[in-house]
Chain A
Amino acid sequence: MSTAEPTGLRRLASELTPTAIVCLAVIALAAFIAIFAPVIAPYDEGTILTNESFASPGNGMLLGSDYLGRDIASRLGFGIRTTLSVALSISVIAFLIGSALGFFAAIMGGWTDTLVSRTIDALISFPAIMIALIVVSSLGSSFLVLIVTVAIIDSTRVFRVARALGMDIVVQDYIEAARVRGEGIWWIIWHELLPNALGPLAAEFGIRFTYAILFVSALSFLGLGVQPPHSDLGLMVKENMQGLLYGSFSPLYPALAIAMVTVSTNILVDWYLKSTGASLPEEL
Chain B
Amino acid sequence: MNLVTLIAKRLLIGLGILLVVSLLVFVGTEILPGDVANAILGQGATPELLANVRERLGLNDPAYIRYFRWLAGMLTGDFGTSLVNGRPISEQLGERVYNTALLAGTTAAIAVPLAVCLGLICALKPNGLVDRMISTLSLTLISVPDFLVGIVLVSIFAVTLGWLPAIANLRPGADIATIARVLVLPVTALVFTVLAHMVRMTRTSILGVLASPATEMAILKGVPRTRILLVHALPNAIAPIINVIALNMAYLISGIVVIETMFNFSGLGRLAVQAVATRDIPVVQLTAMIFCTVYVLLNLLADIVSIAANPRLRYPK
Residues of chain A touching chain B, judged by Cβ–Cβ distance below 8 Å, are 122, 125-131, 133-139, 210, 214, 217-218, 221-224, 234, 237, 241, 244-245, 247, 249, 251-252, 255-256, 258-259, 262-263, 265-267, 270, 282
Contact = CB atoms under 8 A, between A and B. Distances in A.
A122 B148 contact: no
B159 A223 contact: no
Given A125-B299, A137-B284, A262-B143, A218 B29 contact: no
B288 A130 contact: yes
B292 A130 contact: yes
Contacts of B272: 130, 133
B30 interface: yes
Interface string B126-145: 00000000000001101111
B281 A266 contact: no
Nearest to B279: A137
Given A224-B273, A247-B159, A263 B140 contact: yes
A197 B148 CA distance: 35
Contacts of A137: 29, 275-276, 279, 281, 284
Interface string B234-260: 000000000000000010011001100
Q: Which A-B residue pairs are the 6 nearest by beta carbons?
A: A129-B254, A134-B28, A255-B148, A262-B143, A266-B143, A137-B276
Given A130-B292, A134-B28, A222 B154 contact: no
Contact of A138 (B31, B140, B292): B31
A249 B156 CA distance: 11
Contact of B144 (A129, A133, A249, A263): A263
A251 B147 CA distance: 10
Interface string B1-28: 0000000000000000100110011001
Contacts, number: 135
A221 B24 contact: no
A237 B147 contact: yes
Interface in B131-184: 139-140, 142-148, 151-152, 154-155, 158-159, 166
B70 to A, nearest CB: 14
Contact of A223 (B32, B158, B273): B273
Contact of B155 (A129, A249, A259): A249
B192 interface: no
Contacts of A138: 28-32, 35, 281
Contacts of B35: 138
Contacts of A251: 151
Interface string B262-275: 10000000001101
Nearest to A221: B147
B284 A256 contact: no
B67 interface: no
Given A137-B29, A221-B261, A125 B21 contact: yes
Contacts of B288: 130, 133-134
A123 to B, nearest CB: 9
Given A125-B17, A134-B284, A224-B273, A245 B151 contact: no
B296 interface: yes
A282 B31 CA distance: 37
Nearest to A266: B143
B258 A244 contact: no
A245 B25 CA distance: 38
Contacts of A127: 250, 253-254, 291-292, 295
A244 B291 contact: no
B217 interface: no
Nearest to B280: A137
A217 to B, nearest CB: 5
Contact of A218 (B139, B254, B276): B254
Contacts of A131: 28
Of residues B159, B275, B281, which shows the largest number of chain A Cβ atoms within 10 Å of its Cβ? B159
B277 interface: yes
B10 to A, nearest CB: 13
Nearest to B141: A263
A247 B160 CA distance: 8
Nearest to B149: A255
B143 A263 contact: yes
Contacts of B32: 138-139
Of residues B140, B147, B166, B250, which shows the largest number of chain A Cβ atoms within 10 Å of its Cβ? B147
Contacts of B158: 244
Contacts of A129: 253-254, 257
A136 B276 CA distance: 7
Contacts of A245: 159, 166
B191 to A, nearest CB: 18
A8 B21 CA distance: 46
A223 B254 CA distance: 14
A262 B155 contact: no
A256 B143 contact: no
Given A138-B28, A222-B257, A126 B292 contact: yes
